[in-house]
Amino acid sequence: MKTLIRGGRLIDPSRGLDMISDLLIENDKIIGIGTGIAVPDASILIDASNLIVSPGFIDIHCHLREPGEEHKETIATGTAAGAKGGFTTLCAMPNTIPAMDNPEMLLDIKARAEKFGIVKVIPIGSVTLGRYGKILTDMRGMADAGAIGFSDDGNPIADYHIMHKALLQAKALGLPIINHCEDPSLSKNGVMNEGIVASALGLPGWPSLAEENMVKRDIELAMQTNSRIHLAHISTRGSVEFIRQAKNMGINITAEATPHHLTITEEWVRPINDSMLKYNTNAKVNPPLRTKEDVDAIVLALSDGTIDCIGTDHAPHSTEDKSYSFEDASFGISGLETAFGALMSLVHKNRIDLSTLIKSLTYAPARIINKPDICTGTLDVGSRADVTIFDPDLRWQVKSDLFISKGKNTPIAEEFLQGYIKTTIVDGRIVYESEDPIIVD
Ligand SMILES: [Zn+2]
């Protein structure tokens, strides 16, 4: 079966490609790039004129909630939401119930994804049994079962000695430890960024230092052990500085930032204009939304490569989970369906160039994941046909009740975004085609 994508602007940052071209897919592979490809026997023809054709997006960090919390998300709904967001591969964090802490569970997740997944799912195994931070898991067994790295995400690996041992084991397997950087002795019961908004709202603060302390420790450990650490969801200016210095010294670390930490601040925790509520629990996330100075530093870091890639940290919750007091509401933002539109605001404001943004969603995470048989983040001839087609300028309004994700928890509901996913193709199959966007002006 052949699919021809005709006349789009192909952008593939892995080799600096940016040109108007056709793209030909046969079965699950890209077999041709060039202008004027004539394919009389193409079974599917996609007119991509005035659209951008990119490698399929890869999310190195999301929460699919299955097994254990299927009322928040399932592999079926999470991967469908991913497809709508332009993602062709999702890396699933292991903070399920029970935790994904053994090879059998990873194989089970892969089997479920094979059966119910709309896009590809790659599992991340947990570092410690039950994610309790005490006893290391069978990392070798999980690597054999397909883990692309190990993380206790949701929790940090706070114990220095456990982290040290974990790094040596992961190093022997050639895989990274992905750490959620939070020093619990400093974040304590904090629920939002420590600062003036927290003081004004009377909420306990989660200081920048809680993240930066652990980023510093991890850099030190990566240097000592010469092993790979990937730092999840970096949120502060200080962390960015530590990472920049470490990379300049040649230390083997990589880092990600979320769409929300790149685009909105702690101010979003304040109540929505006409609401009677004291705050907006949909803006409660871990690590918390920070200040404008932090956001600016992270945008600059993404632009200069200090931050390698985007991870959505898609964290769907039920409406009930978010309807408690701010202190008791769950942490997390449902982000797969708004990630691209939100990030495009940085391109439209000339804060980051389009090619860098696409790289951070494609080739950069693919290199960290390092599973070229599953995803390469490129449009190379011969590679898997994972392709995302989008309109960079189309304006639309976020309607959380129309999310495919079970998690309607977004702080940017009703906001206007510019940049719209049109078509998502996984292994040569069209898995998502958009309807016209909702615009109510
Ligand atoms: Zn985390």
Q: Alpha carbon 143 to chain centroid distance?
A: 21
Distance 93 CA to ligand 1 centre (A): 9
Domain(s) of CATH 3.20.20.140: residues in the chain: 56-369
DSSP conformation letters of 238-269: HHHHHHHHHHHTT--EEEEE-HHHHH--GGGG
Is 313 a residue of the active site? yes
CB 214 within 8 A of CB 183: yes
Residue 40 pLDDT grade (very low, low, confident, very high; cuts 50, 70, 90):
confident
- C-alpha 46 to ligand 1 mean position (Å): 38
> How many angstroms separate the alpha carbon of residue 257 from the centre of ligand 1?
11
Average pLDDT on 330-337 reads 97
Type of residue numbered 245: Q
pLDDT of residue 273: 72
Mean pLDDT of 333-347: 98
Cα–ligand 1 centroid distance for 233 (angstroms): 7
The confidence score (pLDDT) of residue 274 equals: 66
| Cα 192 off chain centre by | 21
Do 251 and 222 meet the contact criterion of CB atoms below 8 Å apart?
yes
421 C-alpha to ligand 1 centroid (Å): 26
Average pLDDT, the chain: 96
Q: What is the mean pLDDT of residues 83-102?
A: 98
The Cα–Cα gap between 268 and 419 comes to 22
| Residue-wise pLDDT tens digits, 207-233 | 999 999 999 999 999 999 999 999 999
Decide yes or no: CATH 3.20.20.140 for domain 56-369: yes
Alpha carbon of 411 to ligand 1 centroid (Å): 18
User: Could you tell me what percent of the chain has a pLDDT over 70?
Assistant: 98
According to the model, what pLDDT value does residue 168 have?
98
- Which regions of the chain carry the CATH code 2.30.40.10? 2-52+384-433
Question: Encoding tokens for residue 389?
Answer: 């087609």
Ligand 1 centroid distance, CA of 419 (Å): 27
The whole-number average pLDDT for the span 72-101 is: 98
**Ligand 1 center to residue 286 CA distance, Å?**
6
Dist. CA 363–CA 377, nearest whole Å: 4
Of the residues 308, 313, 321, 386, which is catalytic? 313
pLDDT of residue 171: 98
Label residue 439 by pLDDT band (50, 70, 90).
low
Confidence band for 278, pLDDT divided at 50, 70 and 90: confident
Rg, Å, the chain Cα set: 21
Fold of 2-52+384-433: Urease, subunit C; domain 1 (2.30.40)
Q: Give the Cα separation of 437 and 441 in Å (integer).
A: 12
Find the mean pLDDT for residues 324-334. 94
Which residues make up the environment of ion ligand 1, defined by Cβ < 5 Å?
A: 153, 180
pLDDT in tens, 133-186: 999 999 999 999 999 999 999 999 999 999 999 999 999 999 999 999 999 999
pLDDT attached to residue 435: 82
3 state SS of 176: coil
Contact 344, 317 (CB under 8 A): no
Q: What percent of the chain has pLDDT over 90?
A: 94
Question: pTM of this prediction?
Answer: 0.97
The answer to whether the CB of 388 falls within 8 A of the CB of 57 is: yes
**Separation of 391 CA from ligand 1 center, angstroms?**
31
* Distance between Cα 430 and ligand 1 center (Å): 31
Question: CA–CA separation, 275 vs 230, rounded Å?
Answer: 39
Q: How many whole angstroms from 131 Cα to the centroid of ligand 1?
A: 12
Q: 342 or 271: which carries more pLDDT confidence?
A: 342
pLDDT of the residue at 277? 78
